[in-house]
Amino acid sequence: MIDTIKRISGVNPRKCMKCGKCTASCPAFERMQFHPHQFVDMVENGRIHELMNSEGIDFCLSCFACVERCPRNVEPAKVIEAVRLAVVRQQGGAHLTPDEIPALLDDELPQQAITAAFRKYRK
């Protein structure tokens, strides 16, 4: 599993020097049970199932603040993306289904939001 996450993300978690700048930059900090720097550390230490079951994987905004500000170019967002994919690629693993969409729509919601959510929350 560690190798799968490393392969999908292309991230080498051992480059991390645990400065926490990613977590300090993260706008979704409060919604992440495990913060970006912990994601990197837990992947390195094989605690992937804990990450897969955490709510935080749905709240990474892909804003790339952690990627931009990392002094070691670790790219934490790619690790979070890889863990989320490991979940939503499973049969029955989708975090959003088409049935849920009508209730979420309003007159102004752009198509972009639905497209993005489908790309992030299901396969």
Partner 1 sequence: MTYSYFPGCTLKTKGKDLDIWGRASAEALGFTLEELPDWQCCGAVYPMAKDEIATRLSSVRALMAAGEKGQDLVTLCSACHHVIKRVNNDLRTDETIRDKVARYLKLETPYAGETNVRHYLEVLRDKIGFDVLKEKVVNPLTGRKIGAYYGCMLLRPASEMGFDDPENPTILEDFIRAIGAEPVIYARRNECCGGYCTIKDKGFATKQVDAIMENARNCGAEELITACPLCLYNLKENATDGLPVAYFTELLAEALGVKEAAK
Phi/psi class of residue 73: alpha, beta or left (left: φ > 0; alpha: ψ in -120 to 50)?
left
Piece of the chain touching partner 1 by CB under 8 A; list 1-9, 15-23, 35-43, 44-52: 1-9
Binding mask 25-54 for partner 1 (x = CB under 8 A): --xx--x-----------------------
Residues 20, 26, 29: CA angle, nearest 5 degrees: 95
Q: Of 42 and 77, which has the nearer Cβ to partner 1? A: 77
Residues 63, 68, 73: CA angle, nearest 5 degrees: 125
Query: What is the nearest approach in angstroms of partner 1 to the Cβ of residue 98?
Result: 13
Interface residues with partner 1 (CB under 8 A) are 7-10, 27-28, 31, 58-59, 61-65, 67-68, 77-78, 81-82, 85, 96, 104, 106, 108-117, 119-121
